[in-house]
Chains A and B, each alone.
Chain A
Amino acid sequence: DVKVTQSSRYLVKRTGEKVFLECVQDMDHENMFWYRQDPGLGLRLIYFSYDVKMKEKGDIPEGYSVSREKKERFSLILESASTNQTSMYLCASSPTVGNTQYFGPGTRLTVL
């Protein structure tokens, strides 16, 4: 079975803190994605990566950055967390372009 894991299920941070959300997949997938999920807005793509050290902006990259130093790990970074970044963050991976995306369980982040 494909397994996508995220480092925390729940996280509480303060405004201005630097926040790292980690995602790991164990299936040697090429592509990895970060989404945020908000009520009434569905899922919105923040960043994605087609390969190690490669990254592409999604639809809402402002306030976020990413890092992919190893194929299996894709990190989402909030340089200076703000309250409007309180959300559910979902990581996904897919084998290659055009294949099914597999999702992790999500990290619910609260910024106070």
Chain B
Amino acid sequence: GNSVTQMEGPVTLSEEAFLTINCTYTATGYPSLFWYVQYPGEGLQLLLKATKADDKGSNKGFEATYRKETTSFHLEKGSVQVSDSAVYFCALRLNRDDKIIFGKGTRLHILP
């Protein structure tokens, strides 16, 4: 079936460290891929997305590249800030419908 697997957290980093959160997927067809972020006490916000192979999504210093050959969509940021502390969800949507399949989420703590 279709699924998303992302690294378990929590992930704890110091401010200005390099961040990678791994995400791999299993899907029939050619899904669109997303990263959502949930800040404390809030709902989910779309962080970035990519709709086809080799696309790179980017926003707020975060990047992720759609890698069809490795079925991956790893989230990266070169220098994290305390304000990046949140839960990050990798997700996919099959292009034939509107249902989104989410990973389990990765909690990120950034220490000052």
Contact = CB atoms under 8 A, between A and B. Distances in A.
A109 to B, nearest CB: 15
Interface residues of B, number: 20
B14 interface: no
B89 A101 contact: no
Nearest to A30: B98
Given A31-B98, A48-B99, A90 B46 contact: no
B4 to A, nearest CB: 8
B105 A101 contact: no
A21 to B, nearest CB: 13
B99 A103 contact: no
Interface string B68-104: 0000000000000000000001000101011110111
Contacts of A42: 89, 102-105
B98 A43 contact: no
A41 to B, nearest CB: 6
Interface in B32-83: 32, 36, 41-46, 49
Interface stretch (A12-20, A62-70, A92-100): A92-100
A64 B92 CA distance: 25
A44 B104 CA distance: 10
Contacts of A48: 98-99
B43 A90 contact: yes
Interface of A: 4, 31, 40-45, 48, 50, 58, 90, 92, 94, 97-106
